[in-house]
Chains A and B, each alone.
Chain A
Amino acid sequence: MKSLLATLALTTALTLPGYAMARPVTLTTQLNNYRGDGAYLALYVSDSSGAYVGSLWMAGGKSKYYEHLTDWYRATGGDPAQVNGITGASVGAGRSLEITLDLADALFDAGYTLHIDAAVEDMRDSPNEVAVPLTTDGAGTPVSGRRYIASFTYDM
């Protein structure tokens, strides 16, 4: 289990009322078989106005390719510090990525949206592949992505 709470707070200097309350959340991203190399995925959160709040995970280790995660790159200026300590390997076609994080209760049912940008070498960039509102009711409900992601679920 990775503790993201502190990271989120640190990297974004975000003050969330009552964020001492947190719970483990499991994020499962299942890729479809798109017949390409491993996908870079950026998981991040925006607030109700669409402004970037913070990153949850970066799948893909080489920062020179982050510009292909277009929306995330635009929001962060490609700052690798945004994903310091929450970076893992890229995810192969047909594979799934499962991460468990401590997320503040205050992120749920408060207009926050979780986004995933995806990019694959020599294939199309797919910003905003997934955009799903964070709600307690929405937990456990799979949503599908636009191009590479077969399904994405967050479970509490």
Chain B
Amino acid sequence: MIRVLHRWPGLLALVLVTVLALSGAALSIFPAAERLSAPQAEAGLRVAELATRIQVAYPGVEQIRRAPSGRITAYWFDQGTPGAAVIDPATGQGVASADPNQTVRWLTNLHRSLFLGDGGRIAMALGAAAMLVLSVSGVALVARRVGGWRHWFAPLRGPLAGRLHVEIARIAVLGLMLSSTTALWMTASTFDLLPDGGAVPTFPNEVSGEMGATISDLATLATTPVADLRELSFPYPDDPTDVFTLKTDHGTGYLDQGNGALLVWADLTGWDRVSETIYMLHTGQGAAMLGLVLGLMALGLPAMGATGVLIWLTGRRGRPRIRGNQSAARAETILLVGSEGGSTWGFAATLHAALTDAGQSVHTAPMSTFAPDRYARADRIIVLASTYGDGASPASANGFLDRLAALDHAPKAPLAVLGFGDRNFPAYCAFAKAVSAAAEAKGWSELIPFDTVDRQSPQDFVRWGRALGQAMGLDLELVHQPAVPATETLTLISRRDYGAEVQVPTAILRFALPRATLWKRLSGAGFARFNAGDLIGILPEGSPVPRLYSLASARRDGFVEIVVRKHPGGLGSSQLTALEPGERVAAFLRRNPGFQPGRGSAPLILIGAGTGIGPLAGFVRGNARRRPIHLFFGMRHPDSDFFYGEEMRAWQQEGRLSRLVTAVSRGGRPRYVQDAVRDDAAEVARLVRNGARVLVCGGRDMAAGVSDALVEILAPVGLTPAVLKAEGRYVEDVY
């Protein structure tokens, strides 16, 4: 619900809000510039003294105004000709033109009304209202994403667009809320919807009828500091019924031009004070620094608009359309999805369609929207959950466990949990298991027992579907063909073969970059933007299930490179390693933002064996900034499967690679890569203590061995791989 409140105002008002933000940011500069350029009155100067100085210089002076910036302007008539100037209060002489700045006027009219009068003002007010709705809903979304208010500034994970969006938002949102609220107040005030304004006192009925008091005779002016002055108007020449009119920060009054007495005084009303404060907060007039800060924050808005649209487009692409989705309040079956990359959504769509065909009303939504009090008519709740990393909640399930734990009692509708994962990983379906365990602990009744789907297996899904159908009294056939992302065609340009002598036939395959359309280049979709460590999915002929490989190159290298070992009987690897230059494969890109060296200049410790060297070599090749990199590389025999052996030497000479440590597992003194790490314990511990990041890529056994070795190595310095993982300084890409 909050997401909807965020998405649609954002997309609909994008242009309006962008115009508001850019013009507002531009306008924010002027109060500061005026504050700096305007000659300021000396401290303690009184209005009487200032007015006398000006009257000496301009005997026909009619009015003196002081802007919140301290700028003083005088208006006069000289032999029937109107004149005006910015005044230096020290001399009373004009120093600059008082004409309004035409740029400010243009920007102001654009900002408040698009040059369209009252209709434009209302449109811009709607824009401000959209900005407020976006801010409030955005705050709720950020709080949910980072896991609560206390973690407002917690580090973020996930794709770049989403991270940027939140990074900007959590700083700028305060300013945007202030600017949009004050904008709405000011619009209401302009349209007379607020009881402010009109604090002008009634003109006195009786005046002395005399003339000729000099300014120094006016006691009120002699006690009013210039810092409080807003406006002083002189009486018309030769009109004995007229008076001096004085406006200050406190109110308005009339002074007799004969005896100098204060005839009437009216203080500002509370409403006026509030409106003036709001005007100051919005325009920065009288608060120039705040204005600049607000302007800077407003500049974040176009960036948030662009990243917001990208997030929306990515989400649409990665998620299949759910047809006929019912509202949460009306549905009999609630289907909650916890998905990181989007594949679980495909299963959810199949289940949704099958249940809908069977006459059920189904509400399908991300697990993060879990709100049992809204499920008024639910007979059952089904959770389909994948796992992020080592058992963490996937992106679309953030906050689910916390909300479940916070419930007083479990929902009445019974629960079915289906986990999605890969049995090759130790944390197989760990998040789904955690959900199931938490539900049991709450006493939530079970619809059917917990089950899992291994590597998107259609068979597993069918089996579970039958069990679900039985429990519901339906005949449920769940035929799910995993949705294949749109692929592009890659042409092999070269291959290098290794490892045949040591029974690991392996090829480094280099493909030409596919041509990117302009849209792809702008949006960074597909192969228009990728880094070493991202994944490439290859669809082998004869199977709809893609095979994933880690990329050993980045877009700026100008080619797509992977390291593939031929597995006996492996469909994908056999086809790939049989490719000859000029031949093609269908492939798609899957981002892997978790496995990146990250920014900064802290040293990197890269540990890999076999084909796991691929992304690590890619990181070294891309190390143009000469960040210290220590590479531990395990192989079978240096004469056979030393992948990138020639390049390594060149990279060391160029300073891209600080140190290379190899471990050879065949021959006289067999060693694995974790042994090499252990032999280097002191140096590794020193590097980690100084902030180094550890990236491990390779088989599961190797990764486990490396982790064990690091436990031993880091114990003396009081660290563990788990602590490093929590800090994001220890990441693995394991297959």
List residues of chain A with CB under 8 Å of any chain B CB.
Answer: 35-37, 50, 61-64, 67, 70, 73-74, 77-78, 89, 122-125, 128, 146-147
Q: Which of B109, B118, B192, B241 contacts A64 (CB 8 A)?
A: B192
Q: How far is the CA of A128 from the CA of B77 in the complex (A)?
A: 13
Task: Tell me if B82 and A147 are in contact (CB < 8 A).
Answer: yes
**7 shortest A-B CB distances, which residue pairs?**
A64-B197, A124-B75, A74-B203, A147-B82, A122-B100, A67-B200, A36-B100
Q: How far is the CA of A123 from the CA of B62 in the complex (A)?
A: 13
Task: Tell me if B190 and A62 are in contact (CB < 8 A).
Answer: yes
Task: Tell me if A124 and B84 are in contact (CB < 8 A).
Answer: yes
Q: How far is the CA of A143 from the CA of B84 in the complex (A)?
A: 23
Smallest CB gap from A36: residue in B: B100
Task: Tell me if A36 and B192 are in contact (CB < 8 A).
Answer: no
Task: Tell me if B63 and A36 are in contact (CB < 8 A).
Answer: no
**Interfacial chain A residues near B192, Cβ < 8 Å:** 62-64
Task: Tell me if A123 and B100 are in contact (CB < 8 A).
Answer: yes
Q: How many A-B residue pairs have CB under 8 A?
A: 44
Q: How far is the CA of A122 from the CA of B105 in the complex (A)?
A: 9
**Interfacial chain A residues near B63, Cβ < 8 Å:** 124-125
**Interfacial chain B residues near A67, Cβ < 8 Å:** 197-198, 200
Q: How far is the CA of A61 from the CA of B80 in the complex (A)?
A: 30
Q: How far is the CA of A152 from the CA of B734 in the complex (A)?
A: 87
Smallest CB gap from B65: residue in A: A124
Q: How far is the CA of A125 from the CA of B232 in the complex (A)?
A: 12
Task: Tell me if B198 and A78 are in contact (CB < 8 A).
Answer: yes
Smallest CB gap from B243: residue in A: A74
Min CB distance A36 to B, Å, is: 6
Smallest CB gap from A124: residue in B: B75
Q: How far is the CA of A67 from the CA of B233 in the complex (A)?
A: 13
Task: Tell me if A77 and B202 are in contact (CB < 8 A).
Answer: yes
8 contacts between A and B (CB under 8 A): A36-B100, A37-B105, A50-B241, A64-B198, A67-B197, A74-B203, A122-B100, A124-B63
Q: How far is the CA of A67 from the CA of B77 in the complex (A)?
A: 22
Asked whether any CB of chain A lies closer than 8 Å to the CB of B238, the reply is: no
Min CB distance B98 to A, Å, is: 8
Min CB distance B263 to A, Å, is: 13
Asked whether any CB of chain A lies closer than 8 Å to the CB of B99, the reply is: yes
**Interfacial chain B residues near A122, Cβ < 8 Å:** 100, 105
Q: How far is the CA of A73 from the CA of B202 in the complex (A)?
A: 10
Task: Tell me if A35 and B100 are in contact (CB < 8 A).
Answer: yes
1/0 contact trace for B216-251 toward A, CB 8 Å? 000000000000000001001000010001000000
Min CB distance B413 to A, Å, is: 57
Given known contacts A35-B99, A37-B105, A37-B109, is B82 in contact with A146 (CB within 8 Å)? yes
Q: How far is the CA of A73 from the CA of B109 in the complex (A)?
A: 26
Task: Tell me if A64 and B100 are in contact (CB < 8 A).
Answer: no
Min CB distance A48 to B, Å, is: 15
Smallest CB gap from A128: residue in B: B236
1/0 contact trace for B111-124 toward A, CB 8 Å? 00000011000000
Q: Which of B82, B84, B118 has the most CB of A within 10 A?
A: B82
**Interfacial chain A residues near B233, Cβ < 8 Å:** 70
Q: Which of A36, A64, A124 has the most CB of B within 10 A?
A: A124
**Interfacial chain A residues near B100, Cβ < 8 Å:** 35-36, 122-123
Min CB distance B111 to A, Å, is: 13
**Interfacial chain A residues near B75, Cβ < 8 Å:** 124
Asked whether any CB of chain A lies closer than 8 Å to the CB of B102, the reply is: yes
Q: How far is the CA of A70 from the CA of B244 in the complex (A)?
A: 13
Smallest CB gap from B254: residue in A: A74
Asked whether any CB of chain A lies closer than 8 Å to the CB of B189, the reply is: yes
**Interfacial chain B residues near A89, Cβ < 8 Å:** 117
Min CB distance A21 to B, Å, is: 33
Min CB distance A142 to B, Å, is: 16
Give the total of B residues in contact with A, Cβ under 8 Å. Answer: 28
List residues of chain B with CB under 8 Å of any chain A CB.
Answer: 62-63, 75, 77, 80, 82, 84, 99-100, 102, 105, 109, 117-118, 189-192, 196-198, 200, 202-203, 233, 236, 241, 245
Min CB distance B232 to A, Å, is: 13
Q: How far is the CA of A146 from the CA of B192 in the complex (A)?
A: 30
Q: How far is the CA of A146 from the CA of B117 in the complex (A)?
A: 27
Smallest CB gap from A90: residue in B: B117
Task: Tell me if A124 and B82 are in contact (CB < 8 A).
Answer: yes
Q: How far is the CA of A29 from the CA of B145 in the complex (A)?
A: 62
Q: How far is the CA of A128 from the CA of B233 in the complex (A)?
A: 14
Q: How far is the CA of A122 from the CA of B285 in the complex (A)?
A: 13
Task: Tell me if A64 and B189 are in contact (CB < 8 A).
Answer: yes
Min CB distance A140 to B, Å, is: 23
Q: How far is the CA of A38 from the CA of B117 in the complex (A)?
A: 10
Min CB distance B60 to A, Å, is: 12
Q: How far is the CA of A146 from the CA of B102 in the complex (A)?
A: 22
**Interfacial chain A residues near B105, Cβ < 8 Å:** 36-37, 122
Q: How far is the CA of A146 from the CA of B82 in the complex (A)?
A: 7
Q: How far is the CA of A147 from the CA of B117 in the complex (A)?
A: 24
Min CB distance A146 to B, Å, is: 6
Task: Tell me if A35 and B82 are in contact (CB < 8 A).
Answer: no
Given known contacts A36-B100, A64-B192, A124-B63, is B82 in contact with A78 (CB within 8 Å)? no
**Interfacial chain A residues near B203, Cβ < 8 Å:** 74
Task: Tell me if A35 and B190 are in contact (CB < 8 A).
Answer: no
Smallest CB gap from A65: residue in B: B197
Q: How far is the CA of A122 from the CA of B236 in the complex (A)?
A: 21
**Interfacial chain B residues near A128, Cβ < 8 Å:** 236
**Interfacial chain B residues near A37, Cβ < 8 Å:** 105, 109
Task: Tell me if A35 and B198 are in contact (CB < 8 A).
Answer: no
Q: How far is the CA of A36 from the CA of B65 in the complex (A)?
A: 18
**Interfacial chain A residues near B198, Cβ < 8 Å:** 64, 67, 78
Min CB distance A71 to B, Å, is: 9
Smallest CB gap from B117: residue in A: A89
Q: How far is the CA of A125 from the CA of B234 in the complex (A)?
A: 12
Task: Tell me if B190 and A64 are in contact (CB < 8 A).
Answer: yes
**Interfacial chain A residues near B80, Cβ < 8 Å:** 146
Min CB distance A92 to B, Å, is: 11
Task: Tell me if B102 and A35 are in contact (CB < 8 A).
Answer: yes
Q: How far is the CA of A74 from the CA of B202 in the complex (A)?
A: 7
Q: How far is the CA of A130 from the CA of B100 in the complex (A)?
A: 23
Smallest CB gap from A120: residue in B: B100
Q: How far is the CA of A46 from the CA of B189 in the complex (A)?
A: 32
**Interfacial chain B residues near A64, Cβ < 8 Å:** 189-190, 192, 196-198
Q: How far is the CA of A124 from the CA of B82 in the complex (A)?
A: 10
Q: How far is the CA of A92 from the CA of B421 in the complex (A)?
A: 69
Min CB distance A68 to B, Å, is: 10
Min CB distance B243 to A, Å, is: 10
Min CB distance B387 to A, Å, is: 60
Q: How far is the CA of A50 from the CA of B240 in the complex (A)?
A: 13
Min CB distance A70 to B, Å, is: 8
**Interfacial chain B residues near A36, Cβ < 8 Å:** 100, 105
**Interfacial chain A residues near B202, Cβ < 8 Å:** 77
**Interfacial chain B residues near A73, Cβ < 8 Å:** 200
**Interfacial chain B residues near A35, Cβ < 8 Å:** 99-100, 102
Smallest CB gap from B197: residue in A: A64
Q: How far is the CA of A7 from the CA of B3 in the complex (A)?
A: 56
Q: How far is the CA of A125 from the CA of B231 in the complex (A)?
A: 11
Min CB distance B579 to A, Å, is: 70
Min CB distance A116 to B, Å, is: 15
Q: How far is the CA of A61 from the CA of B121 in the complex (A)?
A: 14
Smallest CB gap from B196: residue in A: A64
Q: How far is the CA of A70 from the CA of B77 in the complex (A)?
A: 17
- 14 further A-B pairs in the complex, CB-CB below 8 A; given A62-B190, A77-B202: A35-B102, A62-B192, A64-B189, A64-B192, A64-B197, A70-B233, A70-B245, A74-B203, A89-B117, A122-B100, A124-B62, A124-B75, A125-B63, A146-B77
Given known contacts A62-B190, A124-B75, is B200 in contact with A78 (CB within 8 Å)? yes
Q: How far is the CA of A89 from the CA of B116 in the complex (A)?
A: 13
Min CB distance B276 to A, Å, is: 13
Q: How far is the CA of A74 from the CA of B239 in the complex (A)?
A: 15
Q: How far is the CA of A50 from the CA of B102 in the complex (A)?
A: 38
Min CB distance A67 to B, Å, is: 5
Q: How far is the CA of A64 from the CA of B191 in the complex (A)?
A: 9
